[in-house]
Structure 1
Amino acid sequence: MAVTVTDENEVEAEVDTDVEPATEASEDAVEEQAAEEDVTPERRPRKWLWRSLIGVLIAALLGASGFLGWQLWQQHQVTTAAHDAQDTAVRYAQVLTSIDSNNVDQNFTEVLNGATGEFKDMYSQSSAQLRQLLVDNKAAAHGVVIDSAVQSASKDKVVVLLFVDQTVANKAAPDPRVDRSRIKMTMEKVDGTWRTSKVQLA
């Protein structure tokens, strides 16, 4: 608005016709704000696309980490099974290769307690004949595991290789001699306990 003085007592007001309507001013303000916020119609789809890609990436990472975690847990279970079965196989091999003709019944009981499946059936069937043979020959043996290694392993079945030195004496050969054997022993988990299901001379 411009003010013009035409006389001492008169003041003439002139309207500035250059002033834009209020609605146009408000539209300009909105456009300026949109420009400042960088939210133009062209950029909106890009922002949506980036957000979608980030969401997909996060979901993929979470899925991959979950799968890797599951794999690590499975591997941990197999590693633990291999370790426990190997320890049991070492102890059992020493029981199996240590026999005293004066204490045969206890020896057989210990062997059968640690056996299962095929090996338990075979040992049970031959135990009577084996017992008489040991008693008649006054046989004695003492086994020591020199070394052992896991050949294969799963959560419920482990194959162990054992290197055993067995000192043997009997009525015909009272002076002890050392027999060296390599035994392949299959261990199976039965009701939470590792037992021997197969014994082979390797």
Structure 2
Amino acid sequence: MTSSRGRGAVVGLSVVLVLLLAAAGVLGWQVYRYRAEEGRRQEILAAARQMVVNFTTLDYQHGRRDLDRVLEASTGDFKQEFSARAPQLEQLVTENKTVSKGQVLEAGIVSYDDDSARVLVVADSTVTNKAVPQGQERHYRIQLDLRREGDRWLTSNLEFVG
């Protein structure tokens, strides 16, 4: 009787051990997935924030460099349109001696999947130029569509909202 009882206890403990290991595996997998998703969200937000800073920061003394930063983080139609308008924008910024310093106040993801995302960003910038030498505060709400290309999130559309 003792040996069958002992075997029953061993079998019971083995079953419990297998169940605990399975539960630990499932929990570990869920933690891994959560961290991967959180990492992706942080990459998306970082790309959107940086684009808005680049887009709202211009200095007439470095106009081409500042515009190139926007182009480097762009793709698709947005990149083509911005590239086509960049020479006129650079000329306008230089003629008016414009300096704009942007900063992101908040950013949030509206939606995302493996290859695309939509982000809303609230930003401010202080703009000085010939017409407003003392500076003027500007407030923006910007919606960005991003597309993943390789290991980078690039802006495929940018528009001012609300």
Q: What is the aligned partner in structure 1 of residue 143 from structure 2?
A: 184
Secondary structure of the residue aligned to 1:171 is coil
Structure 2 residue runs of 5 or longer lacking an equivalent are 1-21
Alignment of 1:165-184 (within 5 A): 165-184=124-143
Percent of pairs identical after alignment? 28
Cα RMSD between the aligned structures? 3.0
Deviations 1:81-123 (A, max 9, x none): 2211101211221111000011111111111111111211110
**Aligned pairs, how many?**
151
**Relative contact order (C-alpha < 8 Å, sep 6+): which is higher?**
2
Alignment of 1:25-174 (within 5 A): 76-174=35-133
- Give the partner amino acid of 1:166: S
Q: 1:74 to 1:157 in 2, by over 3 A?
A: farther
User: Contact between 1:78 and 1:154, CA under 8 Å: does it hold in 2?
Assistant: no
User: Contact between 1:78 and 1:153, CA under 8 Å: does it hold in 2?
Assistant: no
| Further displaced range: 139-148 or 76-85 | 76-85
Q: Give me the whole-angstrom Cα distance separating, in 2, the residues matched to 1:156 and 1:81.
A: 10
| Further displaced range: 80-89 or 69-78 | 69-78
- Give the partner amino acid of 1:100: D
Secondary structure of the residue aligned to 2:64 is helix
Q: Give me the whole-angstrom Cα distance separating, in 1, the residues matched to 2:89 and 2:98.
A: 11
Q: Please tell me whether Structure 1 or Structure 2 has the larger radius of gyration of its CA atoms.
A: 1
| Further displaced range: 68-77 or 165-174 | 68-77
Q: 1:117 to 1:73 in 2, by over 3 A?
A: farther
Q: Give me the whole-angstrom Cα distance separating, in 2, the residues matched to 1:186 and 1:70.
A: 30
- Give the partner amino acid of 2:116: K
Matched, 1:200 2:159: yes
TM-score, scaled to structure 2: 0.77
Structure 1 residue runs of 5 or longer lacking an equivalent are 1-61
Secondary structure of the residue aligned to 2:44 is helix
Q: Give me the whole-angstrom Cα distance separating, in 1, the residues matched to 2:130 and 2:73.
A: 29
Secondary structure of the residue aligned to 1:108 is helix
TM-score, scaled to structure 1: 0.63
